[in-house]
Amino acid sequence: MTSTVLVTGGNRGIGLEMVKGFAKQGCKVLLGCREEDDGLKAKEDVVGADIQVIEIDLNDKQSLQDNVVRAQAVFGDIDVLVNNAGVLCEDNWERVSDDALKEAMQVHVHGPMAIIRHVLPAMIERNYGRIVNVSSGWGAFSEGMEGPPAYALSKAAMNALTLHLARKIDADNVKINAMSPGWVHTRMGGSDAPLTPEEGAETAIWLGLLDEDGPTGKFFRDKQLIEW
């Protein structure tokens, strides 16, 4: 079976490496990004792959809904959803604004949930689907919630969403997991990060292509189970 994969935030960094990785596995990949031109430019260097650009702005509820519905109408049901798009506000608790908190929750929780609402029913109906939520150790209680508040709180909420949905879905072959890519050399991660974007993408690709006996409702880094 050729899977259709949607990767949000797929035009650069870890997201683009996810797009490339799924394409190398023979998947049809929907590259989700805020601006269509950015996606078209990003895919220029990917030769011989079935990649389609989908404009997805997680801050625009109506546009998000319309474009996901349109993508399903044109390309069919989405088999694999990777909620990768992210924002990072580094302000501490004294400085962080309400707007920054709202944006982080919108991009990391409300937006992903909106997409899930559109793709999950068909996954359940055909008893096949993979949802991968790209989280962070900064949003893990087990690692001290060390990130700046807007980022850490919203990623912790994404983790909670992952666990809640996985426990509520009554379909053996629909898998919903979260993953941390680690500290990756991207625009967000900075130049001191030890991992390449390709290395950061590996766990998401693995989770997106899990076998039927694979895990669900879990949190991973480097394909290894970590605690919430």
- What does each of the 228 residues of the chain score in pLDDT, given as a tens digit? 679 999 999 999 999 999 999 999 999 999 999 999 999 999 998 878 899 999 999 999 898 999 999 999 999 999 999 999 999 999 999 999 999 999 999 999 999 999 999 999 999 999 999 999 999 999 999 999 999 999 999 999 999 999 999 999 989 999 999 999 975 656 665 566 667 888 989 999 999 999 999 999 999 999 999 999
pLDDT at residue 199 in the model: 92
What is the C-alpha separation between 227 and 110, in angstroms, rounded?
23
Quote the tokens at residue 39: 């996606």
Return the axis-axis angle of helices 111-126 and 61-75, rounded to nearest 10°: 30
- Burial tier of 50 (Cβ tally within 10 Å: 0-12, 13-18, 19+): middle
pTM over 0.75: yes
In the three-class reduction of DSSP (H, G, I as helix; E, B as strand; rest coil), residue 197 is classed as: helix
pLDDT at residue 206 in the model: 98
- CA angle, corner 27, sides to 198 and 85, nearest 5? 50
What is the C-alpha separation between 73 and 176, in angstroms, rounded?
23
Q: According to CATH, where is 3.40.50.720 located in the chain?
A: 1-85, 123-228
Q: Report phi then psi at 33, rounded to 5.
A: -155, 160
Quote the tokens at residue 140: 């893990």
Per residue in 117-147, pLDDT (tens digit) is: 999 999 999 999 999 999 999 999 999 999 9
- CA angle, corner 98, sides to 95 and 103, nearest 5? 110
CB atoms near residue 188 (< 10 Å):
14
Quote the tokens at residue 188: 């967000």
Q: Which class in CATH covers the domain with range 123-228?
A: alpha beta
CATH code of the domain occupying 1-85: 3.40.50.720
* Whole-number Cα distances in Å, 116 to 78, 91, 165, 178: 10, 29, 10, 14
Per residue in 2-33, pLDDT (tens digit) is: 799 999 999 999 999 999 999 999 999 999 99
In the three-class reduction of DSSP (H, G, I as helix; E, B as strand; rest coil), residue 76 is classed as: coil
Q: Report phi then psi at 166, rounded to 5.
A: -60, -35
